[in-house]
Amino acid sequence: MKIETKTAHFSAPLYLESGRILEPYEIAYESYGELNKDKSNVVLVCHALSGSHHAAGVYEGERKAGWWDGLIGEGKALDTNKYFVICTNVIGSCFGSTGPMSTNYTTQAPYRLKFPVVTIKDMIRAQMHLLSDLGIYHVRAIIGGSMGGMQALQFGVDYPNFSDDIISLAATYATRPWTIAFNKVAVEAIRRDPDFKHGNYEIGAFKEKGLDGLAIGRIAGHISYLSPESMDDKFGRNYVNNDGLFELFGRYEVERYMEYNTNNFSRIFDPLSYLYIVKAINTFNLSRGYDSLHEAILRIKATVHLISFSSDYLFFPAEMQQIAKMLKRNGQAYTYKEIQSDYGHDAFLVELDKFAAHIKEILQ
């Protein structure tokens, strides 16, 4: 599988939904497979909160494959023998695209909290600029899960003629208070950590030890991504062998897992980027800019494929069903599939075998 990782530079302004302007800016992206002559075999992959443009394959010197490696590649659901698959890093992120720790050209210092708030609409507008720059004006499909699924749906609404199929997994039509409340734990934990310094920390300050506030906030995120059943199966009530049961800070295996994963995450992910991307998720609402959700959905011309997961407690299946009901009532082309899973929201990243064949069928 041919893998290329590049960064595109844009000097033309990106007009944001807030009314502010971002210029210049950069977008990091990765592509897999070969673009055909008429550029009709493009599949755009959109990533979730903690993801990046590295969706598949393994970088030289690293063992961990891209976050959807099981879905992208030769003979897989997103078959790189047939399709030119491209995944971009969203603006606001910390993995190569312009974000809050990028240099503001007017001050020659990092934006930090002066970086403008970006929305899902802004993210896809930036991606449209990139694709246009690559001479791609229509794609075969757009696919993503969670925040990536939000982007896929937003593409369908804002750019109705751009894609043949929209495939949205584990997403919603608007972020509800339950999810915003989970996100609030992370936001406040980061803001109240003294080492956060109101966003004025040094570049690379947390590479070795991480930021405690982000680690604590990420625990709340992990709880929302999993399900009680998946935790029972994975950990049970097993206790860490070396920790005494009657020691105050002795731990169950689930506690050790949370500590290990969230501490690692806080060394990799920039806390300001986390705050900005969480804000984009919280403000997501397909109907914003239109008279109603019905009007927004009615704009979609692509065939919409909705995939939810029965144990998803972050974006409940009922939220995807609501979109499906509107599409059905409008006589628009769609499919809806609820995957039976005990894994929770993260099933779209883990239980690929339960929906890979369905995606392959859609694309055929």
Q: Choose the catalytic residue: 102, 146, 230, 273.
A: 146
Average pLDDT score over residue span 80-92: 98
pLDDT at residue 2 tops 90: no
Give the model's pLDDT for residue 1: 82
Cβ atoms of 345 and 309 within 8 Å: the answer is: yes
Look at residues 222, 231, 226 and name the one whose alpha carbon lies nearest to residue 309: 226
Average pLDDT score over residue span 136-161: 98
The identity of residue 177, as a single letter, is: P
Q: Choose the catalytic residue: 53, 54, 222, 345.
A: 345
CA-to-CA separations, 154 to 142, 268, 289, 358, 359, in angstroms, rounded? 10, 28, 12, 22, 19
Give the model's pLDDT for residue 59: 87
- Taking only the tens place, the pLDDT of each residue in 233-242 is 999 999 999 9
Average pLDDT score over residue span 94-118: 96
Q: Choose the catalytic residue: 227, 312, 341, 346.
A: 312
Active site residue 292: no
pLDDT at residue 62 tops 90: no
Active site residue 47: no
Q: What is the pTM of this model?
A: 0.96
Burial 241-276 (b: 16+ CB within 10 A, else e): eeeeeeeeeeebbbbebbeeebbebbeebbbbbbbb
Domain annotation for the chain: domains and CATH numbers: 3-175+285-363 (3.40.50.1820), 179-279 (1.10.1740.110)
Active site residue 312: yes
**Cis-peptide into 24, omega within 30 deg:** yes
